[in-house]
Amino acid sequence: MTQLETAMAILMKTFDTYAGAEGNKDSLSKVEVKTMLEKELPGLLKAAKNPGEVDKLMKGLDFNGDSEVDFTEFVVMVAALTCACHNRGPKK
């Protein structure tokens, strides 16, 4: 597989690893998002000064308002974080 195909496979596997721990295997609950962030992006949580950052992130990710993060919402989060880390956010 190419590097990009490998990255895509890792995204799918990571989502599937955490989704469904509390029931719905097609989405991440707030607890599952928090667990995933703690294990997969620990630096992000350490950098957050406000303990409510996970709640804020969750609200921003939950585009359809169902209080869960589906795979599309998850991919948007990863892409947004990648852009932020690569300093390629929207230009003002």
Could you tell me the CATH number of the domain that includes residue 36? 1.10.238.10
| Domain assignment of residue 32, yes or no | yes
d(CA 35, CA 53): 13
pLDDT for position 2: 97
| Domain assignment of residue 8, yes or no | no
56-60, 65-69, 72-76, 78-82: the lowest-pLDDT one: 56-60
How much is the mean pLDDT over the chain?
A: 82
Burial of 22 (0-12, 13-18, 19+ CB in 10 A): middle
> What average pLDDT score do residues 67-79 get?
89
Please report, to the nearest 10 degrees, the dihedral formed by the alpha carbons of residues 34, 38, 40, 43 taken in order: 120
For residue 10, is pLDDT > 70?
yes
For residue 21, is pLDDT > 90?
no
d(CA 36, CA 49): 18
Closest residue by Cα to residue 61 from 86, 88, 36, 91:
36
